[in-house]
Amino acid sequence: MSRIIAVANQKGGVGKTTTSVNLSASLSLSGSKVLLIDLDPQGNATMGSGVNKNDLEASIYDWLVDGVALSGVVHRCQAGYEVLPGNADLTAAELELLRQDRREQRLKDRLSPDLDQFDYVIIDCPPSLNILTLNALIAADGVLIPMQCEYYALEGLTALLETIEGVRERGNPDLAIEGLLRTMYDPRNSLTRDVSRQLIQYFGDKVFRTVIPRNVRLAEAPSHGLPAVLYDRHSRGAVAYMALAGEIRRKHGATAS
């Protein structure tokens, strides 16, 4: 059974797209069939997967709004996962969706016929609460929340949790918190350690055991159009994302396909 995970945080710069790309690659390399949906008009997950967002014959806009078949839009990436590419056309998709019936369920409706092809669907959400993010949360089984261990991150987390609760009330009562992922983690920083302790105190096992370190290779990989697990599989960042994939697969009892 496919599991849909929205990677979301209303605060930008927390490693959301890095997590979406590297988790997709790590799950795929672990034997799972994975679809990565780039729902951010910036198209960074698309570029980081080795697909040129500026040279697409068809994008997620065509699939989401015009009803083009998934097979006519997806690209298979070097790591083995498939990406549904996004670009600036998604900004127009927002306006189109606002005019449609079931506008908040459009992503869920379009995904439904193809879900049995995948073990995991990872959705890279925009860094804001808009109709696209709402579509992702309505469609998702769980929300993975990447966050830095800093003071302002806790404020942003409160707002996101309120959003998740609102989505539960308005159409997706089973939406779960997949987990809180500590990113750009530097254990030498006392504030990082303090915030990390607070997260574990309040959220317990909802905080992933895996932490994603600050890592140069993670930052370099997107410029080569590769996930870190292919760019430098021995780097600390790549090893961490493979560990995260293992943690998620064990959580849901996944076995290699």
Tens digit of pLDDT at every position of the chain (257 positions): 899 999 999 887 889 999 999 999 999 999 999 999 999 999 999 999 999 999 999 999 999 999 999 999 999 999 999 999 999 999 999 888 888 888 899 999 999 999 999 999 999 999 888 999 999 999 999 999 999 888 777 777 888 899 999 999 988 999 999 999 999 998 888 888 998 998 999 899 999 999 999 999 999 999 999 999 999 999 999 999 999 999 999 998 754 44
pLDDT at 257 (0 to 100): 42
C-alpha–C-alpha distance, residues 93 and 91, integer Å: 5
- Written in H, E and C, the secondary structure of the chain is CCEEEEECCCCCCCCHHHHHHHHHHHHHHCCCCEEEEECCCCCHHHHHCCCCCCCCCCCHHHHHCCCCCHHHCCEECCCCCEEECCCCHHHHHHHHHHCCCCHHHHHHHHHHHHHHHCCEEEEECCCCCCHHHHHHHHHCCEEEEEEECCHHHHHHHHHHHHHHHHHHHHCCCCCEEEEEEEEEECCCCHHHHHHHHHHHHHHHHHEEEEEEECCHHHHHHHHHCCCHHHHCCCCHHHHHHHHHHHHHHHHCCCCCC
pLDDT at 155 (0 to 100): 75
pLDDT at 256 (0 to 100): 41
Residue with tokens 């804001």, as numbered in its chain: 128
pLDDT at 254 (0 to 100): 56
Q: What is the pTM (predicted TM-score) of this model?
A: 0.95
Set out the domains of the chain in order of their start, with CATH numbers. Answer: 3-251 (3.40.50.300)
pLDDT at 81 (0 to 100): 98
